[in-house]
Amino acid sequence: MKVAWAPGVGVPVALLAFIFFLPPTSSAQPRDGYVGVEACKVCHPDKVESYSATTMGRLFLRHPRNDQERLGCEACHGPGKAHAEAGGGKGVGGLTSFSRKDPTPVEARNAVCLRCHERTARLFWKGSPHESRDVACTDCHRVMVRVSERGQLARATVVETCAQCHIRSRVQLMRSSHMPLREGKMDCMSCHNPHGTGTEKLLRANSVNDTCYKCHAEKRGPFLWEHTPVMENCGNCHDPHGSNHEKMLKLPKPRLCQQCHTDIGHASSPQTRTTRFVMGRQCLNCHATIHGSNHPSGNFFKR
Amino acid sequence: MGRAGTPLLLLAGFVGLVLGSGRASAQNEIFGLKLDGSLELGGRAFIERPSDRQSAKFEEYRDIPSGLFVEDLRLRLSSKDDRGDFEFRAKDAGEEDQRFSLRSSRPGLYDFGFEWDQIPHIYSTTGRMLGSEVIRGVFTLPSPRPSLSAHNSAPALDEIGVRWDTAEFSFSVSPTPDWELRAEYIRIKKEGDRPMGMSFGGYGNNFREILEPIDQTIHDVTLSASLARENYSLQFMYNLSRFQNALDAVVSDNPCRAPEVRNPTCREGNSTLGAPPAGQIALAPDNLAHTWSLSGGVDLPLRSRATGTLAYSWRLQNQGFVPHTINPALAGNSALALPQSDLDGDVRVLLFSLNAASRPVRPLTLTGRYRLYDFDDRSDEILFPALVNADRFLLPRARLANRFPFTSHSAGVDARWRILVPLALTVGMGWERWDRNRYRGAALTDEFKPKAALDYTPTDWILLRATYAPSRRQVNDYNPQVDATHQFASLRKFDEASRDRQRGDFLVQLTPLDTLTASLTYSIRDDDYTDSLLGLQEDQNWAAGIDLAWSPVERVSVFAGYMREEYLARQRSRLRVAAQLQNTTYDWVARTFDAIDTFAAGVNAFILPGKLDLGLNWNFSYALSRMRAFNPATPTGGTPAENAGAVAANFPAIEDALHRAEAFLRYQFRPKWTAKLQYVFESFNKTDFRTDQLAPATGDDIFLGNDLKDYKAHILALILGYRF
């Protein structure tokens, strides 16, 4: 099978070299009602210092690209003149604050972030399950300090961040049959986009199966002989978050297969514990190509 | 390069860079750029190490060698104005699960990344196999065949596993704040073996467990562009995914029969009725998928926003067919001539989704959504005049390889009303339709999904979320696809059956003090398959858990958690034998019950702030699975053997327990130097009657005889950290 390949890595490398040496943008004077970063630093030097070490801080405080970013702290917190002139203090001067206990509505807090971030992964945020339950951006992200290596997360890792609420998903990582999440080779974001998608369960791909095919493309087919529940939804048999049954199956074999198969003989038999249908790989001792077969005589998934 | 080579090379490079930068200036500069980084280098010793035979589960996805190891190495070069940076990272260098990354970025402008990641996946270290594999994927046995008992003393296989090597390049650039262009290429290479069964006939005949040879490559290319303006945003994406399998098929000799020579130690598998000397299984075929998608969002009046996606995929597969059989007694049969050389597989997948959210007045939020997923399988429907059952005998009946296109629609509307400042109520209704073709049991299913949700924050330290979401799936015209020996008319396959679902989720988060957080969660799901006289009838699960985090003093934080989960599935079946196709006393009911308890606890303490800290972590998980079965009535009406075959009995319980404890003490003995003493205990225990002590030769069948062994490990490590 022949395919036309995408451009090689040469193009992005050349672009990278070009962009790296682009001239910096210039700074501008504070606008009316705004006091500028230096004024914030007078009372909040530690906050400004920790913020300047974050990705956003580097951008806003040192290399802003537009007027909004040039506002520094006030780009998110709003104009600070009234706050400064009143001598500061919590809730003074109408600043927008982002702590969980702040009375500013979650929608208003999130709107500040979305001014710049409502694209790519956040395109479907509005109306998404998290947005509709008033989850704040700052429930999962920290802007002022660097807690995680990437993503400015509220916890050190993606899994820990999601586990603040999704406790059950976290404990499933401890199952004997699991994907390598607890080994740090995957995380929740490998399959889900918590900011919203056009797909069920906040999946990044277009369906459950498309999500699995990203790494398990051998199961995509199409096959000559399709096993229809497999083709429709991997989740009919597997629990991707972890299981106490082999291969992350939802039930132990042979009972899993016997939910649907009542053919004459072994499939409809209750079986005894020592038969070949219960030992070893159970039904898969013979039906090895259960995800679909491309063998002309593979209609029973034995070839 | 050997296991020790990579870490030593990295170490030498690190030392060279640090010394070089030190000579250049006291500020750690090199080539006019700022240099910073860190190294964590350690030595590991096992007080008790799992043996090679016990290591399959211990090192399932990881490599934990004793001796010198590089846990983490990070080097970062950045411009003096902090505008751009370049970072190299290595984790577990030189080990089977090593990971390297290279990253360069200029915030807000571009980001380039390269990552190399290895993941071992070990299935077993206790398998045995007789014979040889001189040609990859061809498992031969001597002729005449060895006695079956000889397989019990076959040479041990070193390790059965697959290693995934993943390379990932990504580049994104934002030429202006509203544009982002991104290119990504991922290559996954999988090499190794995994267990696979090969049968040599019907269920009265024999099978042999062999190794499926894995030599597969996945190429995945994604190109995307997104534009975000004040009132609208657009995103275009193209993805190419190609799967290549270096092997087309796997071949194995039949342990019960060599060409013209029966194995006298086999009882059934050596029957002269066409017992094949060897069999062949087709491996996963090469395939290719293109996906194009266009997504967008637009702000509308009344504080509304609409978003949508239109995606179209094209999946192709034209791998040439292998012959029906490699059995020389059948291969020349004219009925087995292939009607065409390949499937000409062609599936078109269309996804369309449209979402809208509106807040016409402040306390009210309205959302609506519609999703269409159309799976249009345009592959050829091939009529085979005859087939071969497992290389053994001809099935002269013509058989059509059907295609199974389907379309699913889902839609829903929700209204959320903030009744009071602390209380918001959401009510909604959803609908899902699956439209399948005539080859399926349920050509059309409709499911209705009402929903009610409550979010309550009576004070700023209490958050309560509750959701109740029942649903009802109705199937009016189920076609059980009955024929003489296959499915019962009263069987309903659970994925297409009528179903009543009750579902609830509850979460309470309490933060009575800034130093104390408690989360309580409870979820329940109860599926009742109302029309399923046979098949899955009930599927229930619930989970309840608590998480606590407390910092009694600033230097100390404590956490603990526990969760109990229970799963129950009840299914009903009926033994069907040749003379007893509809004997209701042959009904049997199976109840499969799983219970899992998971505990976690830990302490983090800064004994001497900035100097000495302590960490303790403990996790324990215990899972119990019971497969119980009984007959509602005493089986009668058949021969004594048939009646006995219908008697259902419980299977022994399956259990596993995973225990992990870790303690560390970290001391900063110089401004740039730390020493960490770490102790880890792990144990795994499993009881599974299906694989424990399974002899390779069991009846006429040959297993690899592999199973996951219990293990216990005590690990001691000393890790030196240097940061500059």
Tell me the three-class secondary structure of A242-256, residue by residue.
CECCHHHECCCCCHH
Q: Which residues of A touch B600 (CB under 8 A)?
A: 171
Mutating which of B119, B651, B708 best tests the A interface, going by the most A Cβ atoms within 10 A?
Answer: B651
pLDDT of residue A4: 38
Residues B282 and B426 in one domain: no
| Cα-to-chain-centroid distance, residue B176 | 39
The residue range of the domain holding B497 is: 409-651
pLDDT of residue A24: 44
pLDDT of residue B217: 98
pLDDT of residue B460: 84
Q: How far is B131 from chain A (nearest CA, A)?
A: 19
Nearest to A296 among B171, B321, B369 (CB): B321
Higher pLDDT, A262 or B630: B630
| Cα-to-chain-centroid distance, residue A3 | 30
How far lies B470's CA from each of A103, A239, B64, B448, B505, in Å? 34, 21, 47, 9, 11
What is the secondary structure of B468-535 as a DSSP string?
Answer: E--EEEE-S-B-----SSS--TTB--TTTS-EEEEEEEEEEEEEEETTEEEEEEEEEEEEE-TT-SBE
Helix (H) / strand (E) containing B199: strand B179-199
Here the ipTM equals 0.94
Cβ atoms of B510 and B542 closer than 8 Å: no
pLDDT of A262 strictly over 80: yes
Instruction: Tell me the pLDDT band of A249, cut-offs 50, 70 and 90.
Output: very high
pLDDT of residue A12: 44
pLDDT of residue B586: 96
Per-residue pLDDT tens digits for A187-228: 999 999 999 988 889 999 999 999 999 999 999 999 999 999
pLDDT of residue B40: 96
Task: Kindly report the backbone phi and psi dihedral angles of residue A32, in degrees, each rounded to the nearest multiple of 5, phi listed first.
Answer: -60, 140
Instruction: Tell me the pLDDT band of B176, cut-offs 50, 70 and 90.
Output: confident
pLDDT of residue A187: 95
Mutating which of A27, A149, A303 best tests the B interface, going by the most B Cβ atoms within 10 A?
Answer: A303
Query: For A69-73, A272-276, B199-203, which range has the lowest pLDDT when averaged over its residues?
Result: B199-203
Residues B500 and B374 in one domain: no
pLDDT of residue B481: 73
Judge: A19–B296 Cβ closer than 8 Å, yes or no: no
pLDDT of residue B272: 61
Cβ pairs bridging A and B (under 8 Å): 424
Residue B110 within a domain: no
Neighbours of B328 (CB within 10 A): 11
End position of a domain, from candidates B617, B651, B685: B651
pLDDT of residue B22: 56
Instruction: Tell me the pLDDT band of B483, cut-offs 50, 70 and 90.
Output: low
Judge: B289–A220 Cβ closer than 8 Å, yes or no: yes
Q: Which residues of A touch B161 (CB under 8 A)?
A: none
Residues B373 and B448 in one domain: no
Instruction: Tell me the pLDDT band of A3, cut-offs 50, 70 and 90.
Output: very low
Beta carbons within 8 Å of B690's beta carbon, 6+ residues apart: A252, A278, A279, A280, A282, B654
Closest CA to B374 of B287, B290, B442, B435: B435
Burial degree of B343 (CB within 10 A; 0-12, 13-18, 19+): buried
Q: Is the dihedral of CA B683, B689, B690, B691 positive or negative?
A: positive
Residues B242 and B340 in one domain: yes
pLDDT of B682 strictly over 80: yes
pLDDT of residue A8: 43
Mean pLDDT of B665-690: 96
Nearest to B281 among A24, A101, A288 (CB): A288
Residues B244 and B364 in one domain: yes
pLDDT of residue B319: 97
End position of a domain, from candidates B605, B625, B651: B651
Residue B601 within a domain: yes
End position of a domain, from candidates B370, B403, B436: B403
Mean pLDDT of B608-620: 95
3-class SS of residue B223: strand
3-class SS of residue A137: helix
pLDDT of residue B315: 97
Q: Which of B10-24, B26-40, B416-430, B475-489 has the highest mean pLDDT?
A: B416-430
Residue B642 within a domain: yes
Nearest to A280 among B379, B387, B691 (CB): B691
3-class SS of residue A58: helix
Per-residue pLDDT tens digits for B124-139: 999 999 999 999 999 9
Residue B518 within a domain: yes
3-class SS of residue A170: helix
How many structural domains comprise chain B? 2
Q: Which residues of B touch A276 (CB under 8 A)?
A: 207, 698-699, 701
Amino acid at B106: R
Instruction: Tell me the pLDDT band of B28, cut-offs 50, 70 and 90.
Output: confident
Higher pLDDT, B691 or A20: B691
pLDDT of A30 strictly over 50: yes
Q: How far is B1 from chain A (nearest CA, A)?
A: 23
What residue of B is the nearest CA neighbor of A294? B282
Residues B498 and B364 in one domain: no
Burial degree of B26 (CB within 10 A; 0-12, 13-18, 19+): exposed
pLDDT of residue B288: 97
Amino acid at A43: C
Nearest to B345 among A133, A222, A258 (CB): A222
Q: Is the dihedral of CA B101, B102, B106, B108 positive or negative?
A: negative
Residue B50 within a domain: no
Residues B273 and B415 in one domain: no
Q: Which residues of A touch B209 (CB under 8 A)?
A: 280-281, 285
Task: Kindly report the backbone phi and psi dihedral angles of residue B56, in degrees, each rounded to the nearest multiple of 5, phi listed first.
Answer: -60, -45
Nearest to A123 among B84, B295, B647 (CB): B295
Closest CA to B659 of B623, B605, B625: B623
Token pair of B133, please?
């594999």
Mean pLDDT of B566-591: 94
Judge: B486–A263 Cβ closer than 8 Å, yes or no: yes
Measured distance CA(A239)–CA(A248) in Å, rounded: 6
pLDDT of residue B185: 98
pLDDT of residue A7: 41
Residue B139 within a domain: yes
pLDDT of B690 strictly over 90: yes
What residue of A is the nearest CA neighbor of B368? A127
Mean pLDDT of A80-101: 86
Residues B215 and B185 in one domain: yes
Nearest to A120 among B235, B323, B652 (CB): B235
Residues B515 and B447 in one domain: yes
Judge: A296–B578 Cβ closer than 8 Å, yes or no: no
Instruction: Tell me the pLDDT band of B19, cut-offs 50, 70 and 90.
Output: low
Mean pLDDT of B518-522: 96
Per-residue pLDDT tens digits for B387-413: 999 999 999 999 999 999 999 999 999
pLDDT of residue A296: 98
pLDDT of residue B11: 73
What residue of A is the nearest CA neighbor of B488? A262
pLDDT of residue B487: 78
Q: Which residues of A touch B309 (CB under 8 A)?
A: 198
How far lies A292's CA from each of A275, A297, B145, B284, B579, in Å? 25, 12, 31, 8, 32
Residue B56 within a domain: no
Amino acid at A23: P
pLDDT of A155 strictly over 60: yes
Q: How far is B528 from chain A (nearest CA, A)?
A: 14
Amino acid at A92: V
The string over B451-479, giving b where at least 16 C-beta atoms fall within 10 Å of a residue's C-beta and e elsewhere, is: bebebbbeeebebbbebebebebebeebe
pLDDT of B625 strictly over 70: yes
pLDDT of residue A200: 84
Beta carbons within 8 Å of A155's beta carbon, 6+ residues apart: A147, A148, A161, A163, A164
Judge: B243–A251 Cβ closer than 8 Å, yes or no: no
Judge: A221–B317 Cβ closer than 8 Å, yes or no: yes
Mutating which of B33, B223, B287, B436 best tests the A interface, going by the most A Cβ atoms within 10 A?
Answer: B287
Residues B367 and B460 in one domain: no
Instruction: Tell me the pLDDT band of A19, cut-offs 50, 70 and 90.
Output: very low
Nearest to A198 among B309, B356, B487 (CB): B309
pLDDT of B686 strictly over 90: yes
pLDDT of residue B27: 62
Nearest to B690 among A124, A206, A282 (CB): A282
Higher pLDDT, B577 or B470: B470
pLDDT of B635 strictly over 70: yes
Residue B240 within a domain: yes
pLDDT of A16 strictly over 90: no
Measured distance CA(B207)–CA(B199) in Å, rounded: 4
Judge: B325–A297 Cβ closer than 8 Å, yes or no: yes
Judge: B689–A273 Cβ closer than 8 Å, yes or no: yes
Higher pLDDT, B291 or B693: B291
pLDDT of B621 strictly over 60: yes
Cβ atoms of A229 and A236 closer than 8 Å: yes
3-class SS of residue B126: coil
Tell me what the pLDDT averaged over chain B comes to: 93
Nearest to A263 among B387, B465, B485 (CB): B485
Q: Which residues of B touch A126 (CB under 8 A)?
A: 297, 305, 307, 357
pLDDT of residue A5: 40
Mean pLDDT of B622-646: 96
Q: Which residues of B touch A285 (CB under 8 A)?
A: 197, 199, 207, 209, 701
Beta carbons within 8 Å of A244's beta carbon, 6+ residues apart: A175, A176, A177, B594, B596, B623, B625, B654, B656
pLDDT of residue A26: 43
pLDDT of residue A283: 95
Judge: A176–B575 Cβ closer than 8 Å, yes or no: no
Judge: B357–A286 Cβ closer than 8 Å, yes or no: no
Closest CA to B178 of A258, A145, A66: A66
Mean pLDDT of A233-248: 96
